[in-house]
Amino acid sequence: MTVPFLDFKSQYLAIRDEIHAAMEKVMENTAFAGGPFVAGFEEAFARYCGCRHAVGVGNGTDALWLSLMALGIGPGDEVITVPNTFIATAEAISICGARPVFVDVDSRTCNMDPNRLEGCLKKGKAPLARAVIPVHLYGQVAEMDPILEIAGKHGLPVIEDACQAHGAEYRGRKAGSMGETGCFSFYPGKNLGAYGEAGAVVTDNDAMAENMRMFRDHGQSTKYHHGIIGWNARMDGIQGAVLSVKLKYLESWNQARRSHAHAYNRLLSGIEEVTLPYESEDGKHVFHIYAIRTKQRDRLMAHLAGKGISCGIHYPVPIHLQKAYQGLGLGPGSFPVAEKCAEETLSLPLFPELTEEQIEGVADEISRFYG
């Protein structure tokens, strides 16, 4: 039995006719860059997230960057985030000219630890901080209430990196709807994935939404009249149309992911060497990634690969230990929890179309590995 890490094809085949019809409409209307199909998706996605605005952009990295730009963050500023995330979170900060300051994570969730955020601010470790970016890693929302409270006490806006958390919830609120902005990636493998690159920022802040709409379109609100220096960070019409179709299925796909995750939990719960993903009672985890932890991670991964089961590691090197961030001067031991996550975490195959047989096959091989 082979079990892929992701399977785009079976999902595509299930919605093929709808997708083709939606794409054909874009072509018939020649609405390729921005336009009505992007606007239609923005309206539906804003409603879904419970926000006043959604601004469609080129990808999730753009969404983070535009949020920071709209807050006026630039050279000389610091932005607080976590070290165990995809590089884009830190890149967006750096590309503005600001400096990322990391705080370590909660060992159960691998999400920003509010106590460490408070400690960082109290001890003056980020005197030039202008914003905080918690990451909702693997599809579970960070502890937003304490994070918002601590950031608020210090006058810092919160940008949610919700690139892995489409539809996740925290105390009844949707991921992305709690901070000043929420940033989404629609990279194909995401819970809501485009057929190419796409992203969005959601916000209730009218002025920021207006600024980001101008910024993504060369700073213009009227053609060839440029009020600010912007960039090209628009979403394609085809992606808007595809995402509008797929958004209708997001809740049921997330439900399928949750039930597969719970099936893995049941089947793996007896294995002492494996720590199962922690699921907070404060919200709804949407399992973009099902990550177990084990000290024998590399050997287990190789064993599974030998049996045709593809896994992933999210992420093998924390940002402060990446060559690109050597300039920060942060060596091993700076963020012990994040570093331990990087050593032990293993992402098992998880996608809505995964079958019971595949889940059992993966769990059987893991059990066999541990004897």
Ligand X SMILES: Cc1ncc(COP(=O)(O)O)c(C=O)c1O
Q: Using an 8 Å Cβ cutoff, are 338 and 318 in contact?
A: yes
Looking at the chain, the number of H-run helices and the number of E-run strands are 13, 14
- Which residue lies nearer to ligand X by CB, 187 or 264? 187
The set of residues, in sequence order, having a beta carbon less than 8 Å from that of 132 and lying 6+ positions away, is 79, 80, 81, 117, 147, 151, 156, 157, 158, 159
118 binds ligand X (CB under 6 A): no
110-118, 125-133, 156-164, 334-342 -> range binding ligand X (CB under 6 A): 156-164
Segment interacting with ligand X (CB under 6 A) among 107-115, 118-126, 161-169, 276-284: 161-169
Residues 233-262 that bind ligand X (CB under 6 A): none
When CB distances to ligand X are compared, the closest residue is 60
* CA 97 to chain centroid: 22
99-102 and 290-293 strand pairing? unpaired
Instruction: Compute the distance between CA of residue 226 and CA of residue 232 in angstroms, rounded to an integer.
Output: 13
Residues 66 to 105 in contact with ligand X, rule: CB under 6 A:
85-86, 88-89
Q: Which of 22, 26, 54, 61 binds ligand X (CB under 6 A)?
A: 61
Q: CB atoms < 10 A from the CB of 117, how many? A: 25
Q: Which of 11, 84, 164, 203 binds ligand X (CB under 6 A)?
A: 164
- Residue closer to ligand X (CB basis): 315 or 369: 315
Nearest Cα to 201, choosing from 186, 221, 218? 186
By CB under 6 A, the count of residues binding ligand X is: 14
The conformational region for residue 30 under phi > 0 = left, psi -120 to 50 = alpha, else beta, is left
For the CB of residue 86, give the shortest distance to ligand X in the complex, in Å.
4
Residue choice 135, 147, 309, 350 for contact with ligand X (CB under 6 A): 135
Interatomic CA distance for residues 254 and 261, integer angstroms: 10
| Per-residue interface string for the shown chain with ligand X, residues 15-54, x marking contact by CB under 6 A | ----------------------------------------
Residues that bind ligand X (CB under 6 A): 59-61, 85-86, 88-89, 135, 161, 163-164, 185, 187, 199
